Amino acid sequence: MIINSKTKIVGILGYPVEHSLSPAIFNYVFEKLNLNWCYLPFPFPSTHKISYFLECFKELNFVGLNVTMPYKEVVVPFLDEVSAFARIAEAVNVIHLQDGALIGYNTDGRGFIDSLKEVGVRAEGKTVMVLGAGGAARAVVLSLAMEGAKRIVLANRTRERGEKLAAVLRSRFPKVEALVVDLSAEAKPYLAEADILVNATPVGMDGISKPLDEEVLTALPASSLVYDMIYSPLETPLLKWAKDTGRKSLNGLPMLLLQAQGSFQVWEGSEIELKLLREAAEAALKGI
């Protein structure tokens, strides 16, 4: 890949971003498609200076950004425009610099729902427990409601944050039962009725921790799906537990690829084939 004055620059904003496969995936795709694009990591540790970062990004006239933790919610007030879904979710994972304006989108929810459908699982009529209430969780929860989930149980370390998200659900989707529980043994009886368990927290990225104690996890029905939005490592302790106990499981890689597809569509208006994105992911994982 040759970088020149015509190269279109995109990247990922977050902290940390060392674990992200996105630079390797996108740059592989750009090379295969012979596109003069480059995808860079932007590890930015100062959340209180995010407006400064975005202003610099705008002045450099780059094309766009993916946004990951801890910035999905932080960037929203500093954007010029925000899509309808991202406004409801109060979280952005894609930014497009268009005609001098920073426009925020959220493809997390669509990527999550489509990844479920890829394995033959639909949210309609289901009871889902979601661990976490951050930016990614908000998009997932709203998309589950839009897809007709019957009950959504929010388990979060900070109950107040969970209640805030539940209030949004109740106001916009009154037919969906929204409950909030602590991320503890209190979750057990609700977990016993869950069709899908979603981990939308970063717990497990260390390869050691689980977001819930095993004693609580055992309440999850054997027929339920365990979905961990983490993709690095591919098999988190939660997913290993699911595999060892005979439960269906899904990691966050399919969602990442669907998000990548959605991101490029926002930036360029065209679609990258999922087959090529999967090929890119396999190449990236071999390089780890």
Residues that are catalytic: 72
- Nearest to residue 42, comparing CAs of 95, 115, 119, 85? 95
Task: Give the span between the Cα atoms of 169 and 174, in whole angstroms.
Answer: 7
46, containing H or E segment: none
Give the dihedral sign, CA 224/228/234/239.
negative
Name the DSSP class of 7: P
- Nearest to residue 220, comparing CAs of 234, 237, 208, 238? 238
Task: Give the span between the Cα atoms of 274 and 155, in whole angstroms.
Answer: 32
- Nearest to residue 256, comparing CAs of 284, 287, 217? 284
